């Protein structure tokens, strides 16, 4: 037999991180989730997020740079982040046999590649 949840009073808020009630005072709200200001921390580096721009992955907040470090594609040739195009999308090329992902720039910058299979050599 399941226990019915107690009806919460209007305005009742529970912190998405520590799961404690948010009483009177300051709190943050984003996408229907509430946080104590001190609990609003990056899921990667665990430091507080004080910037106005951040990234949410599901319900997990990240600093923009932490998210980029974890999830943005890196070029297999130069090992740098693959740049975004004018539309803000990550645009890359991939070798059909090796699955090597690389910046479109390397098709024109004379990056050395194998003369038989055309796999690009690392330039880092």
- The reply to whether 102 falls in a domain is yes
| Lookup: tokens for 67 | 């998210």
Q: Give yes or no: residues 51 and 98 share one domain.
A: no
- The reply to whether 1 falls in a domain is no
Give the span between the Cα atoms of 103 and 77, in whole angstroms: 8
| Lookup: tokens for 73 | 């594609």
- The reply to whether 37 falls in a domain is yes
Q: CATH number, domain at 64?
A: 2.10.110.10
| Lookup: tokens for 92 | 């890359």
Q: Give yes or no: residues 21 and 41 share one domain.
A: yes
Q: How would you classify the pairing of strands 21-22 and 60-63? A: unpaired
Contact 49, 69 (CB under 8 A): no
Look up the domain containing 94 and give its range: 73-124
pLDDT band at 3 (very low <50, low <70, confident <90, very high): very low
Q: Give yes or no: residues 77 and 67 share one domain.
A: no
Write down the pTM of the prediction.
0.62
Q: Give yes or no: residues 61 and 21 share one domain.
A: yes
Q: Give yes or no: residues 123 and 77 share one domain.
A: yes
Q: Give yes or no: residues 50 and 81 share one domain.
A: no
End-to-end CA distance of the chain: 62
Number of domains in the chain: 2
pLDDT in tens, 12-56: 789 988 999 998 888 888 888 899 999 999 999 999 998 889 998
């Amino acid at each position: 037999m399941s226990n019915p949840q107690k009806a919460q009073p209007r305005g009742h808020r529970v912190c998405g991180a520590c799961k404690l009630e948010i009483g009177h005072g300051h709190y943050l709200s984003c996408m229907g989730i509430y946080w104590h200001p001190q609990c609003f921390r990056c899921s990667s580096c665990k430091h507080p997020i004080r910037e106005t721009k951040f990234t949410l992955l599901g319900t997990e907040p990240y600093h923009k740079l932490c998210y980029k470090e974890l999830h943005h594609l890196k070029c297999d040739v130069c090992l740098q982040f693959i740049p975004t195009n004018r539309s803000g999308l990550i645009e890359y090329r991939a070798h059909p046999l090796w699955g090597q992902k690389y910046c479109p720039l390397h098709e024109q910058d004379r990056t050395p590649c194998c003369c038989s299979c055309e796999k690009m050599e690392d330039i880092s």
